[in-house]
Amino acid sequence: MRNHNSTFFKSIVASLAMILFMLPAYAQTSITGKVTDKETGEPMVGTNIVIKGMTIGATTDIDGNFKLQTKVSPPFTLVFSSIGYDNQEVEVTSASQVINMGLASSVIMGQEVVVSASRIEENIMESPVTVEKMGILDIQETATPDFYDAIANMKGVQVNKGSLTFTSVNTRGFATNANTRFVQLVDMIDNSAPLLNFPTGNLVGIDELDLESVELVPGAASALYGPNAFNGILFMTSKNPFDYQGLSAQVKSGVTRSDAQGETNPMWSGSIRYAKVFNDKLAVKVNFSMLDATDWVGNDYASDRRYPNQFVSNDPGITPDFDGLNMYGDEFKITIPINTSIADAAEAGLLPGLPASKTLADGFRTLDPISVTRTGLREEDIIDAYEAKSIKADAAIHYKINDDLEASYTYRYGSGSSIYQGGEKYAIRGFSQQFHKAELQGKNYFLRGYATLTDAGDSYNMTALATFTNEEFSPTAARWAPTYGIYYGLARLGLLYQADPSVPAGKIYSEEEAHRIARGAADAPPPPEGGFGIPPAGSPRFNEVVKDVRENRYFQRNPPGARFIDNSRTYHVEGNYNFADVIDWAELMVGGNFRRYSLLSEGTIFNEDPENGENFERIAIDEFGIYAQIAKKFIEDRLKLTGSLRFDKNENFEGQITPRISAVMRAGDNHHFRTSFQTGFRNPDTQAQFIYFPSTSGILLGGTESNAGRYGIYKGGAISPRTGETLNLDYVQPEKLSVWEVGYKSIINGNVMVDVNYYYNWYQDFMNQIVVASKEPSTHQGQTLPAGTLFAPYINAEEEITSQGIGLGVTYKLPKGFTFNGNYNWAKMKLNEDEGSDFIPDFNTPENRFSLSLANRDLVKNLGFNVSYRWQQQFYWWNTFGAGNMPSYDVVDAQVSYRIKSIKSMIKVGGSNLFGGDYRTSIGAPFVGQMYYISVTFDEAMR
């Protein structure tokens, strides 16, 4: 455990700030001209003009005019590009040349350029691995209410919705609502929360107005991107202010409704972007957006999360140990010895009809102990509000040091309210992340450093909130359990008249009736004069206690509560160099990175001070990686072979080597075959390394030796509570993955693009948690943990796991501007396990799913539409929160848009889940209903 030092990051920022003023602007060449639509003759605003192979360039103004000044002397080539139009190149031969250019609408398929697959720009047809992309037009015209929801329609993608503002992307399985096997990058910044360990989706991500592209690599990518790029990686890239100038704004208003909500609720969002270039050297941009809505509701109080696929009644007489899916505080099973309860009550004089000396052994019929749970509190009764909010703001400054080198600094802030579900359910309230990034981007290299700063805000845990609220009303050991035991025993023995004179003496109740009577007595409201008892939900006393536990008390404090602290940081620096200008016999690239996690929860989550719980110091975790990639073309450039190799080292684990080899073969002009062997690995996340947290299943314990060694449960120090056998657990190590993939991509007749791929995955050392009991006592913060204490440590499973899948995507450009898109995905998992194994991998993926869409940007002049349909098959969901079969569901989204060119605006009317009822994407998740909206977007660059 060490304190962090951010001096290196401050130095980067200071150096870049000084660079901004080092070189004066000086132009030897001045090119002017105008760009118009080749078909209509209308001026085109926002067209990008750059010198080929350099970063220097300009954009057209509202009248289509441009002026490009540079110290580069002719001859050189200018590249004209605009969204929805074919690129055009023009040779410049004069230092004062005038160029008037007409651009034609793009009708050529397969011309997209991607960067994510190989860390270099390449045509999407030549990518060595499967990659999906959304460009600006796709983002603007998606059928879904938000671009992030449109990711669900990409090939190979399944989404889990834990909230209206929190969507988790699942590619190739083994994911929950918190997909820790997936990496999400916003302008190359990892936006995973260091404490909760999940990519934060678009809760604090990027605003749609500033989004240039979305790229998705669904498979392993560790050979180039390092740890945790295990089952997929998502890239969201914002607009460079040099390329996208001017003002844009959007207002969206609508309603949400679901059967679970029971009513229609308003929603609205607004965003604004402004970018400006000064003297062709300096560019700035600012963004702000805000969303406010009512969240989807989870109110399944009839299902028991411990008995998947079985009918279990929530009647306490039938199921006394009921654990409601969206009820909390009912997770712990309580064993009550009935005979002892009644004897103790008689001894204390609480049952006046029984002599104090009389015991059950003196003639009373004895009863076996019973196992029950506390009565759970409903989610809607304890949550502060079903609010879904998101605030995003950022500002960036870019400076062109010369024609080949650009410096930039970006500050990004995001805050929101949402629902997050992992092993427990959390109400995220005022959660925020700040991002600082400084970058030097050259023609063939980059150097960037960034820091992320996380604050949990007023977030809280639902289970803890209900559990400690119940304890405040009626302590389990001192009041609630004895009361339950006494009334159950009296009812079963014909002695209930001792506590209730209205009951006939000798009346014996059945087990079901006895449980109902006992729970009613234990849950009785407090007497008028005050004291222990469970007040009705919504009453002043109920709300007072819930609010106190929710807002003023913290995990692992005295008195305990539902809040937690997250003041964690991530510091990251990385660089890359491409030898394109140094060697010409192959493509060679090298790079590396260093990262430090600086964790601080003040003992609420992480085990910062296991000795006395007073001196909470930051936990620092350092890791680094280096990589190289070489590629070469053969057979008249039709065959491209690529090899990548990476080494990573985390201070708590052995070093990891991850290779990747690939081949892409072009047959004819439009047929591309690809194959690759890839590897990936995932370091145990920060919780898997350093958590210490009492939970419903036992004490959650990070599996590194420096954290868990003191508790003695590894290396033969634990037993199985189920079998009693000794367990020889090893400290947790990284997961590993090997992938073989083949694919084919082709353009047929110029208007049909087909992309199909097959993959086969081998998993080793799959991370898991099991419940064990300690053999020997240990200590924590000065308190003794007796032998038999239950722990839930992180371990690596010995079972062999494989999975395979097929993805098929088709894009068909139909006559009169119609475009059809469709994709189908098949996935299957196989587990080879020993008899009696408790291991259940969270594959959580339907075997079959597909999506279809039909769109036309100009159905009639300026009027467009997009409608999409997706379906997924029933599948089995499992994680530590709950398990069971998730029913199949289908979703229809649609929008109609109209462009008003005279005011550079677009009106869009749409809806999601138009014809369906409520659906859920995982066990315990909220019921997702419908959203209807209208939006107005203004953009100076709109055509």
361-384 pLDDT tens trace: 444 567 889 999 999 999 999 999
Beta-carbon contacts of 695 under 8 Å, excluding residues fewer than 6 positions away, are 423, 424, 463, 792
Give the helix ranges, DSSP H, for 177-264: 222-225
What confidence tier does 10 reach under pLDDT thresholds 50, 70, 90?
Answer: very low
Q: Looking at residues 810-817, what average pLDDT do you find?
A: 93
Partners of 809 in the beta sheet? 755, 823
Pairing relation of β-strands 790-796 and 699-701? parallel
**pLDDT score of 529 more than 70:** yes
* CA separation for the pair 115, 359 (Å, rounded): 79
What confidence tier does 25 reach under pLDDT thresholds 50, 70, 90?
Answer: very low
In 3-state terms the chain splits into helix, strand, coil percentages (rounded to 5) of 15, 45, 40
**pLDDT score of 359 more than 50:** no
Top pLDDT among 562 and 69 is at: 562
**pLDDT score of 8 more than 50:** no
Each residue of 255-305: pLDDT tens digit?
999 999 999 999 999 999 999 999 889 999 999 999 999 999 999 999 998
Each residue of 306-353: pLDDT tens digit?
776 677 888 999 999 999 999 999 998 899 998 878 878 877 777 777
To the nearest whole percent, how much of the chain has pLDDT over 90?
A: 69
Q: Looking at residues 591-611, what average pLDDT do you find?
A: 96
Q: Determine contact, residues 412/238, Cβ cutoff 8 Å.
A: no
Mean of per-residue pLDDT scores for the chain: 90
**pLDDT score of 686 more than 90:** yes
* CA separation for the pair 692, 694 (Å, rounded): 7
List the one residue out of 659, 625, 682 whose CA is nearest residue 230: 682
* CA separation for the pair 407, 192 (Å, rounded): 25
pLDDT number for residue 309: 65
Each residue of 84-112: pLDDT tens digit?
777 889 999 988 899 998 988 765 677 78
Pairing relation of β-strands 98-103 and 29-37? parallel
Each residue of 139-188: pLDDT tens digit?
988 999 999 999 999 999 999 999 999 999 999 999 888 888 899 999 99
Amino acid identity at 385: A
Tokens for 108, please give them.
């050529």
* CA separation for the pair 464, 468 (Å, rounded): 6
Pairing relation of β-strands 166-170 and 211-217? unpaired
What confidence tier does 12 reach under pLDDT thresholds 50, 70, 90?
Answer: very low
**pLDDT score of 907 more than 60:** yes
* CA separation for the pair 510, 517 (Å, rounded): 10
Residue linked to tokens 């509202």: 62
Each residue of 540-592: pLDDT tens digit?
999 999 999 999 999 999 999 999 999 999 999 999 999 998 999 999 999 99
pLDDT number for residue 851: 97
Tokens for 725, please give them.
């056998």
Q: Determine contact, residues 849/825, Cβ cutoff 8 Å.
A: yes
Partners of 939 in the beta sheet? 248
Each residue of 488-511: pLDDT tens digit?
999 998 889 888 889 998 899 999
Tokens for 168, please give them.
């988790």
* CA separation for the pair 15, 21 (Å, rounded): 11
**pLDDT score of 6 more than 70:** no
**pLDDT score of 3 more than 60:** no
Diameter of the chain by CA atoms? 114
pLDDT number for residue 339: 81
Q: Using alpha carbons only, what angle is made at residue 587 by residues 581 and 592, rounded to the nearest 5 degrees?
A: 90
Helix (H, G, I), strand (E, B) or coil at 785: strand
Pairing relation of β-strands 189-190 and 158-163? unpaired
**pLDDT score of 11 more than 80:** no
**pLDDT score of 699 more than 80:** yes
Pairing relation of β-strands 772-774 and 718-719? antiparallel
Top pLDDT among 360 and 683 is at: 683
3-state secondary structure 815-827: HHHEEEEEEEEEE
Phi, psi of 716 (to 5 degrees): 90, 10
N- to C-terminal Cα separation, the chain: 56
pLDDT number for residue 838: 66
List the one residue out of 789, 790, 797, 794 whose CA is nearest residue 769: 794
**pLDDT score of 5 more than 70:** no
Tell me 766's DSSP state.
-
For every residue of 831-880, DSSP letters joined together read EE--TT----------SEEEEEEEEEEEEETTEEEEEEEEEE--EEEEET
pLDDT number for residue 338: 87
**pLDDT score of 663 more than 50:** yes
What confidence tier does 867 reach under pLDDT thresholds 50, 70, 90?
Answer: very high
pLDDT number for residue 833: 67
Q: Determine contact, residues 575/445, Cβ cutoff 8 Å.
A: yes
**pLDDT score of 14 more than 60:** no
Beta-carbon contacts of 582 under 8 Å, excluding residues fewer than 6 positions away, are 588
Q: Looking at residues 632-653, what average pLDDT do you find?
A: 96
Amino acid identity at 876: Y
Q: Looking at residues 870-893, what average pLDDT do you find?
A: 92
Q: What is the pTM of this model?
A: 0.90
**Cα dihedral 577, 578, 579, 580 in deg (nearest 10):** -150
Each residue of 758-812: pLDDT tens digit?
999 999 999 988 899 999 999 999 999 999 999 999 999 888 899 999 999 999 9
* CA separation for the pair 110, 745 (Å, rounded): 9
